[in-house]
Amino acid sequence: MRPANQALIVIDVQNDFCPGGALAVAGGDEIISRINMLMGDFATVVLTQDWHPATHASFAANHPGAVPFSLATMPYGPQVLWPTHCVQGTLGAEFHADLKTDPAQLVIRKGFRSAIDSYSAFFENDRQTPTGLEGYLRNRGVSAVTLVGLATDYCVAYSALDAARLGFTATVLEGATRAIDLNGSLAEARDKMRAAGVALEV
């Protein structure tokens, strides 16, 4: 068991991000057994869950003429327009059946506001609207977080960068993540994480 000040943050291991899903990450289901084993090492385990209304502004389908993976400009900055995914109450939004959820003390749902996307476990994409995770971790005495899940270059990286910005010691276990790697996004995310002091481990 790791020291009590360490938490495991499991990012978005949901059906739509796994093979066969609406926004499948290649090999997304391959990391689940390792994540399940890791849960037993941490006194604090948090799961995040993408939880979008069907009307979400990040869906290409809600922008006439837009194609998935194109860029749009939102009030909070550039936004990738995604295929419709993780819609509230659908099978795609559910955690993968192989993921153990019982060890988690908290589930953070994000992306439920239709006008703003939310990659990070800590903030929505305006970098200002909090999810409440920071306060929860501080109240639990957590000062270090280990991040795993999907996808390395988006929700995992954004969460790790915010954790470091908030003063947590942040580690990403790359062997327990998988990436979308959209137009070099993985290399860019890794560079940003390293520059922010995030430890990248296997």
**Looking at 16, 18, 29, 110, which residue is catalytic?**
110
**Looking at 16, 29, 153, 155, which residue is catalytic?**
155
Q: Which residue in this structure is represented by tokens 């006194």?
A: 43
Contact, 109 vs 51, CB < 8 A?
yes
Q: 192 catalytic, yes or no?
A: no
Q: 155 catalytic, yes or no?
A: yes
Contact, 116 vs 74, CB < 8 A?
yes
173 membership: H or E segment, kind and range: strand 169-178
Cα distance between residue 30 and residue 73, in whole Å: 34
Q: 110 catalytic, yes or no?
A: yes
Q: Counting beta carbons within 10 angstroms of the beta carbon of residue 202, is it exposed (0 to 12), middle (13 to 18) or buried (19 or more)?
A: exposed
Phi, psi of 164 (to 5 degrees): -65, -40
**Looking at 12, 16, 29, 117, which residue is catalytic?**
12
Catalytic site positions: 12, 110, 155
